Structure 1
């Protein structure tokens, strides 16, 4: 399940203290399940809760949240569309201005399966679909309504 590797990289890049102490970042999977659509292919998928524990985090929680949401836009775009919940979290403040932070993120990972000519199978993880909107566009690729700038009463 390759999403955990890219999630680890995104968090490590965002928080300077993890670059110095990578052992303070722990990821694991809980409550996972497999699913299959009973179609003509052997494709299947996983759904699981990714748990992210950061021990003695000194950075602002908003920095971590920003990194997670940027990662979700590419790797799990359905979680950044209202009314979906992007992630849940627990924070344990410590005496030294740091905190232990636990995030729970519900992820999916789809796998394609192709038979090899000599027997066996080739499996690959599917990329997520493109997000519904880019950084500068609104819903469905439509330009958003510009912000209200004022009213000219004399004109």
Structure 2
């Protein structure tokens, strides 16, 4: 890869991260935390993931968030104490634990959907389709890079 292309990739990635931070941390998370006062910075994202999946293993949450097992366990413990999630044993494999939202957790999840709907109304359907395709491409490329690093 030539230097100009590499520079363009790096600058676009940095700008994407800055914009993502503004939209999701400064807008999305801030609104949720202002309504659900006792949530930490990353908890709205975890609630969103659990809500989308319905029931989910903590390791899957870790894959989506990049959190290590001990941090994730502490977060799920905290969300459980706050009455937002509950754990149960997987009926198909008693060694596995599944995490789900409580009624209060569902309220937070539904509120987060309202906020995202408001944000997505700012762009048209074609932009959304392009964005989803771009995300799929980025994830595919990053997965390749990660798998090459492991070898």
Q: TM-score, normalised by structure 2?
A: 0.25
* Bigger share in strand: 1
TM-score normalized by structure 1?
0.24
Structure 1 or 2, whichever has the larger Rg, is 1
**Larger helix share, 1 or 2:** 2
